[in-house]
Amino acid sequence: MPALACCVDAAAVAPPGYAAFFAGDSSLPSAVPFSASTADAADSNSTHWSPAHSSALYRIDGWGAPYFSVNNAGNITVRPYGTDTLAHQEIDLLKIVKKVSDPKSVGGLGLQLPLIVRVPDVLENRLESLQSAFESAIQAQGYESHYQGVYPVKCNQDRFVVEDIVKFGAPFRFGLEAGSKPELLLAMSCLCKGNPEALLVCNGFKDAEYIFLALLARKLALNTVIVLEEEEEVDLVIEISKKLSVRPVIGVRAKLRTKHSGHFGSTSGEKGKFGLTTIQILRVVKRLQDSGMLDCLQLLHFHIGSQIPSTALLQAGVVEAAQIYSELVRLGADMKVIDIGGGLGIDYDGSKSGNSDLSVSYGLQEYASAVVNAVRFVCDRKSIKHPIICSESGRAIVSHHSILIFEAMSATAPTTPAMNQVDLPFILEGLSEDARVDCWNLSQAAMRHETESCFVYADQLKQRCVEQFKEGTLGIEQLAAVDGLCDLVSKVVDASEPARTYHVNLSIFTSIPDFWSIGQIFPIVPIHRLDERPEVRGILSDLTCDSDGKIDKFIGGETSLPLHGLEGNGGGSSGGANGRYYLGMFLGGAYQESLGGVHNLFGGPSVVSVSQSDGPYSFAVTRAAPGPSCGDVLRVMQHEPELMFETLKHRAEEFCGQDHGNEGTHAALVSTIARSFHNMPYLVAASPCSLTAMNNNGFYYCNEEDYNAAVDSGASEDEQWSYCYA
C-alpha cells in the first residue's frame, strides 16, 4: 500500500487551492504486493511440483475416482475398469488426441477438435457397478425379489451409447425408458436385440399414436409398461388395447409430497409437473376396475428429482412411494414393480457434500442399500410380497464415459502499466477539478491503507474521465492513461495476478449447454502438463459472438481456473502435444449432446469410441466420425449448401474469371469455397506444419494434405473409420 500511495501522491495531487500538483521527477517506484510476504512466495516457488500436486489442486481423486487419474508423465488417464484397472491398462488421453488429430499420412485419423472421447468400457463398468450394488444390498438385507434397472434414453440418445447399454445390460435384464415417440421407436428397435425380460418403460405425455406404438411393442414380445402421466391417458389405453386385442401392462406415476429443495427438485412435490395425485390415482383404479383391467396395473413410478443429495431424503421418498404401492396392492391391483425413477447423483466437484446440486453425500452402495431397506421396511410391515425394484439412473450411468477435449488457441491478460510508466503530469493535464479531487481522495485512502476506498475513488475517477471523453474535453490518450492508472491501483491493492482469458476452440452453447442455461458446473482440467506448476489463472472464452459464451465458474466455488502459460507449451516431461494446450471437460456424458444447439452455426464435436486393448498404447479406436461440417449445420437451418456453392461459383466466374492466364487461380478459388462447405466450423490451430503458405497463387491451406485435396478431392465427406489400433 505505501507504494500505491507513492504512485498517487507523487504528483502532489491536491484539490483546487492547494499546492502545485507536482514538482520534479515524476517517475514512480515499483509496486510491492501487500497481501503476501515475499518469503512465502519464494518457499512456494521452490517446492517441487508433481502430478500428485495437480491431482489435489484439481480435485481429480474426488470427482474422478475410480475412472480418472494422473500418470507420471503428467497426463490424465482413463481407468476403464474402475478400481479393477491394472496399471498397464490405463489409457492416456493425450495419446488419444494425438492418434485422432494426426494426419492420415502419419497414421492418424485426421479428425479436427473439439473431440468427444467415449469409453464404452467405463459405461459397462458403471452398469455392472450399479447392478452389483443392488445385488449386494438385496443379499445383505434378505430382500426377496431382484433389481432390474432401465436407462432413460433422454440422457444420451446416441445410437452407439444406447446399443452398448442394451448389450452390456443383457445379462441382468437391463432395459430402456422412453419419454417421447421417437425415443420409443429407438428403444423398441434396440431392445429387439436385448434380454426379452428387459423392461421398456414408457413415460412422458402421450397421445393415441404413442399408446398405439407402446401396445404394438407389447405385441412384438417386448416387456412394455405404459406409465400414466395424466389421468386421461387411461381411457386411451383401455380403448386402443381393446382394438388391438393386447392386454397392456400399466403403471402410474405418483406425485409424491417428498421433494428436495435444489434446482433439480423443482419438478417434484405436490405441485410438480409430472404424475398423479392420490385422488387421481384412485380414479384410475376405479376406471380400470370398471373395465375389468385392474390386474393390468402392475407398476408404481415416482421421481423425486435428479441429483438427490442424501440418502435421508431418498429414503423418505421411497417410504412414501412404497406406502402407495402397498395401498394399490390392497385395492386389488396386481402390483409387481416399484420404479424409483432417477435421482442417483454424481459428485461433480469431489466434495462429497449433501448441500449442493454439484455433489452427493453417498456412493452407489449407500444408495442401493437405502432403497432396498426402505422398500423392505414398508412391505414387511404390510405383509406384502417384495416387488421388483427398478431405477432410471441415466446420469449416473453415462456421465463418466464421455470426455470433451478442446484446445486453448490463445490467451490474453489485462495490460497493467508499471508504476514508472504512469505519466502523471500528462494525466492531470486535462482532468476536471472533480476528477482531481478524486485523485486526492485516492491518495489519502492509499496512505490510510483503506483498500475498499481505493477501489471506490479509482472507479469514480474512471467514470468522470469517461464522461469528459464523451463530452470531447479529454483525448483518448489521456483516457487510456487514466485506465492504466486505475488498473494499476486495482492490481496493487488486490496484490494478485488478474485472471487471463483463454480463448478456446469450442462453442459452450453446443458442447456444454447446461453451463449457460442452468449454471451446471463440470470439472475442467488440462489433460497434460500436470507435472508442471500452473502459473496463471484464467477463464475460458469460446468462439461464439455472445457474451454468455464463457466459463467463469469452476468447481470449488472458484471464479478462475489454474492454467499453464501457452508460451513454450509442451515443455517438461509431458511432451507429445506439439506445442498445443488441451483441456478436458469431464462427467458430461449426460444431456450435453442432446441439449446442444447450433448457435453461430457451430456444430457438434468429432466423436471417437476408444476401448482398452493390449496394444502398445493400451487402447484401440473402435469408431470415429468427424463433427458436422459447415454444410451440415447450414442444412439444419434449411439452407441448401449445393445451391449456395453454385451461386458463389458463378459469382467467382463473373468477377474473378475474366483475367486470361489466371485460370489456375480461379480454379483454386472455387475449390477452396467447395472445401469450406465440407470443413468443420471450428478453427484450425496454427503450428509449424499447419497454416503453411503453399505456393498456389497466395491461397492458404491448413496443411499439405488439404492442399492436395483441394487439387484432387477424392475423399468422401461421409468417410468414417473402423477398429483402428493405436
pLDDT in tens, 324-376: 999 999 999 999 999 999 999 999 999 988 888 889 999 999 999 999 999 99
Query: Is the pLDDT assigned to residue 702 strictly greater than 90?
Result: no
Residue 540, strand partner residues = 502, 551
With CA atoms as reference, report the closest residue to 11 among 24, 474, 460.
24
* Residue 545 annotated to the active site: yes
pLDDT, tens digit, 9 for 90 and up, residues 246-281: 999 999 999 998 877 766 666 666 667 788 999 999
Give yes or no for a contact between 147 and 639, defined as CB atoms under 8 angstroms apart: no
Average pLDDT (79-105) is 96
CATH architecture of the domain 121-400 equals: Alpha-Beta Barrel (3.20)
The model's pLDDT over 173-208, given as tens digits with 9 standing for 90+, comes to 999 999 999 999 999 999 999 999 999 999 999 999
CA neighbor of 275 nearest in space, from 205, 322, 182: 205
Cβ(454)–Cβ(526) below 8 Å: no
Cell numbers given for 575: 511432451
* pLDDT-wise least confident of 32-41, 43-52, 318-327, 336-345: 32-41
Distances (CA, A) of 423 to 28, 176, 466, 479, 533: 9, 70, 18, 12, 36
What is the mean pLDDT of the segment spanning 643-656? 88
Burial class (CB within 10 angstroms; exposed 0-12, middle 13-18, buried 19+) of 412: exposed
CA angle, 446 as apex, 442 and 450 as ends, to 5°? 100
506 to 412, 541, 584: CA distances (angstroms): 17, 9, 11
CB-based contacts of 323, cutoff 8 Å, min separation 6 = 378
H or E element, residue 377: helix 364-381
Mean per-residue pLDDT of the chain? 85
Among the listed residues 515, 516, 562, 567, the one whose alpha carbon sits nearest the alpha carbon of residue 538: 562
pTM equals 0.84
What pLDDT does residue 716 have? 39
pLDDT in tens, 487-543: 777 777 766 677 899 999 999 999 999 998 888 999 999 999 999 999 999 999 999
Tell me: cis bond preceding 641? Omega within 30 of 0 counts.
no
Answer whether 282's CB lies under 8 Å from 290's CB: no
Phi and psi at residue 545, in whole multiples of 5°? Answer: -90, 60
pLDDT value for 19: 37
DSSP state letters, 4-55: HHHHHHTTT---TTSS-S--S----PPP--SSS-HHHHHHHHHSPP-HHHHH
What cell does 489 get? Answer: 491501483
Q: Tell me, what's the pLDDT at 149?
A: 97
Cβ(416)–Cβ(435) below 8 Å: no
Q: Where does the pLDDT of residue 694 fall: very low under 50, low under 70, confident under 90, or very high at 90 and above?
A: very low
Q: Count Cβ atoms below 10 Å from residue 226 Cβ, excluding itself.
A: 29
Q: Average the pLDDT over 99-114 and give the result.
A: 95
Q: What is the structure's pLDDT at 38?
A: 32
Active-site hit among 545, 630, 656, 689:
545
What confidence category does residue 418 fall into, taking pLDDT thresholds of 50, 70 and 90? low
- 576 pLDDT tier (thresholds 50, 70, 90): low
pLDDT for res 700: 40
> Which SS3 state, helix, strand or coil, does residue 337 take?
strand
H-type alpha helices, 382-450: 394-398, 424-429, 433-447
Backbone φ and ψ of 400, nearest 5° = -75, -25
More confident residue, 620 or 480: 620
228: nearest Cα among 244, 249, 209:
249
Res 416: pLDDT:
60
What is the average per-residue pLDDT within 155-174? 97
CA pair distance 383, 476, nearest whole angstrom: 84
Report the phi/psi class of residue 484: left, alpha or beta, with left for phi > 0 and alpha for psi in -120 to 50: alpha
Of 574 and 402, more confident: 402
Residue 120 pLDDT > 60: yes
Q: Which helix (H) or strand (E) holds 607?
A: strand 606-612
Q: How far is CA 206 from CA 63, 224, 391, in A?
A: 38, 15, 21
Q: How confident is the model at residue 660 (pLDDT cuts 50, 70, 90)?
A: low
Residue 12 has pLDDT above 50, yes or no: no
**Is the separation of the CB atoms in 151 and 177 below 8 Å?**
yes
Q: What is the mean pLDDT of residues 121-133?
A: 98
The answer to whether the beta carbons of residues 681 and 601 sit under 8 Å apart is yes
| CB-CB neighbours of 105 under 10 Å | 11
Residue 354's pLDDT is: 83
Confidence (pLDDT) at 695: 39
What was the pLDDT predicted at 692?
39
SS3 assignment for 531-572: CCCCCEEEEEECCCCCCCCEECCEHHHECCEEECCCCCCCCC
Could you give the percent of the chain with pLDDT greater than 70? Answer: 81
Question: Rounded distance, CA 461 to CA 437, Å?
Answer: 9
Which pLDDT score is estimated for 265? 64
* Strand, coil or helix: 457: helix
Looking at residue 700, what DSSP letter applies? B
pLDDT of the residue at 657: 66
Query: Which pLDDT belongs to residue 424?
Result: 64
In this predicted structure, what is the pLDDT of residue 319? 97
**Cis status, amide bond into 80, omega within 30 of 0:** no
- Stronger pLDDT, 225 or 598, i.e. the higher one: 225
Longest distance between any two alpha carbons in the chain, whole Å:
103
- Give the model's pLDDT for residue 437: 86
Residue 382 has pLDDT above 80, yes or no: yes
Q: How many residues does the chain have?
A: 726
Q: What is the CA radius of gyration of the chain?
A: 31
pLDDT at residue 489, rounded to an integer: 77
Domain residue ranges of the chain, discontinuous segments joined by +: 50-119+402-412+498-627, 121-400, 419-493, 632-657+665-678
Please tell me what DSSP assigns to residue 628.
P
Residues forming beta bridges with residue 225, ordered by sequence position: 201
**For range 152-157, the mean pLDDT:** 96
- Measured on CA atoms in the order 235, 237, 239, 240, is the torsion positive or negative? positive
pLDDT(721) > 60: no
pLDDT at 675 over 60: yes
High-pLDDT (> 90) share of the chain, %: 65
pLDDT the model gives residue 40: 38
So what's the pLDDT on residue 655? 81
Residue 344: what pLDDT?
Answer: 95
Q: How far apart are CA 279 and CA 284, in angstroms?
A: 9
Kindly give, in sequence order, each residue whose CB lies less than 8 Å from that of residue 78, ignoring residues fewer than 6 positions away.
67, 68, 90, 91, 93, 119, 122, 403, 610
Give the class (CATH, top level) of 50-119+402-412+498-627: mainly beta
Q: Which pLDDT does position 132 carry in this prediction?
A: 98
Residue 573: band (very low, low, confident or very high) from pLDDT cuts 50, 70, 90: very low
| pLDDT one-digit tens code per residue, 434-463 | 888 888 888 788 778 788 888 888 889 989
Is the pLDDT at 39 greater than 70, yes or no?
no
38-61 average pLDDT score: 72
